[in-house]
Copies of this chain bind each other. A is one copy, B any other.
Amino acid sequence: MLLRHCLALALAATLSATVAADEAKPAHTPSPKDLLAKSQPQEWRVPDPRNVLVMQLPQGRVLIELAPDFTPLHVANIRTMAHEHYYDGLVIERVQDNFVTQWGDAANEDESGDKSKLKPLGSAKDRLPPEYTRPYDAKLPFTALKDGDFYAPEVGFSEGFPAARDKAHQQQWLTHCYGMVGVGRDIDPETGSGSELYAVIGQAPRALDRNIALVGRVLQGMEYLSGLPRGTGPMGFYEKPEQRIAIRSVRLASDLPAEERPNVEVLRTDSVTFAALVDAKRNRFDDFYRLPAGKVDVCSVNIPVRDAKTSH
């Protein structure tokens, strides 16, 4: 809500009662907070620690959930790099407004093209098959969004990620929504390895769907990637080395000692509460929203994440 006064929130109930007495109108849609408060424990899942990247930045901790069912080779490569501490000391080198924040090896930006300065990839591969889509599999969980989509024949949520599928062409893929994480590459489609990653920080760049591999989604700490000064160089690269933000470490949660592992839960996208949240967003009607949109697009849906320790 875009309230002028926080106080107005407190007044809402009173106003609502007054208006309700005056005119017939649809019931208020429940708020996300109310819906989440009524959720059941089994509607929440604990992400597999082998699928969770823990990135430590000077600003704070970023958690990324990987999607091995969509990009298995890239996820395996990223796990290898995290396991071997490849990302430690790399940098956020690019923040392009309304597009992406990208991190990787700053030596890639060396104009000399001298590859000898690149940090070695260790056991990880430097080239991988594209994995822009995966074969259609009716058995892969998919909660379709009944509203349809502007770009794809069918969209919805699969294992906690926004996704699309095309039965006619027997393909499915993750969609470029806010907070999704993808693999930077050169022109050659096989040059993506996961050594350069980006997160979407603006209007969903859906034209990238099926042109680049998406490997996961930011679960927490998105604000540390989106709330950064924009780069002033071409494509939003930082022009001065001192503007780059050093990555302290990136670990797989499964490589961390138990006491250091993040303890979060993600609302299941096949749960009743998630469906209720989507519907409340689709038909939002309350004292502030008087004209429900009646539709919701896949990239406007928030997938809730909570700290497990505070949720019981």
Residues in chain A within 8 A of chain B (CB atoms): 1-8, 11-12, 15, 95, 97-98, 100, 102, 104, 108-109, 111, 113, 132, 147-151, 177-179, 182-189, 191-192, 195-196, 198, 202-212, 222-223, 226-230, 234-235, 237, 281, 284, 287-293, 295-297, 299-300
Q: Which residues of B contact A222 (CB under 8 A)?
A: 97-98
Partner of A4, one of B95, B108, B177: B108
Do the beta carbons of A108 and B223 come within 8 Å of each other?
no
Chain B, residue nearest A95 (CB): B227
Q: How far is the CB of A155 from chain B (nearest CB, A)?
A: 11
Chain B, residue nearest A132 (CB): B291
Do the beta carbons of A289 and B211 come within 8 Å of each other?
yes
Q: Which residues of B contact A281 (CB under 8 A)?
A: 207
Do the beta carbons of A202 and B227 come within 8 Å of each other?
no
Chain B, residue nearest A287 (CB): B187
Chain B, residue nearest A2 (CB): B184
Q: Which residues of B contact A12 (CB under 8 A)?
A: 187
Given known A2-B184, A184-B4, A211-B291, contact A202–B223 (CB-CB < 8 A): no
Do the beta carbons of B300 and A203 come within 8 Å of each other?
yes
Do the beta carbons of B2 and A100 come within 8 Å of each other?
yes
Partner of A5, one of B102, B182, B186, B198: B186
Do the beta carbons of A289 and B207 come within 8 Å of each other?
yes
Do the beta carbons of A223 and B227 come within 8 Å of each other?
no
Which among A177, A222, A290 has the highest number of chain B CB atoms within 10 Å? A290
Given known A207-B289, A288-B187, contact A111–B7 (CB-CB < 8 A): yes
Given known A204-B203, A207-B281, contact A97–B291 (CB-CB < 8 A): no
Q: Which residues of B contact A149 (CB under 8 A)?
A: 150
Do the beta carbons of B202 and A178 come within 8 Å of each other?
yes
Do the beta carbons of B151 and A293 come within 8 Å of each other?
yes
Do the beta carbons of B97 and A227 come within 8 Å of each other?
yes
Q: Which residues of B contact A284 (CB under 8 A)?
A: 207
A196 to B163, CA, bound (A): 37
Q: How far is the CB of A26 from chain B (nearest CB, A)?
A: 15
Do the beta carbons of B237 and A184 come within 8 Å of each other?
no
Given known A178-B98, A203-B177, A235-B1, contact A189–B290 (CB-CB < 8 A): yes
Q: Which residues of B contact A8 (CB under 8 A)?
A: 186-187
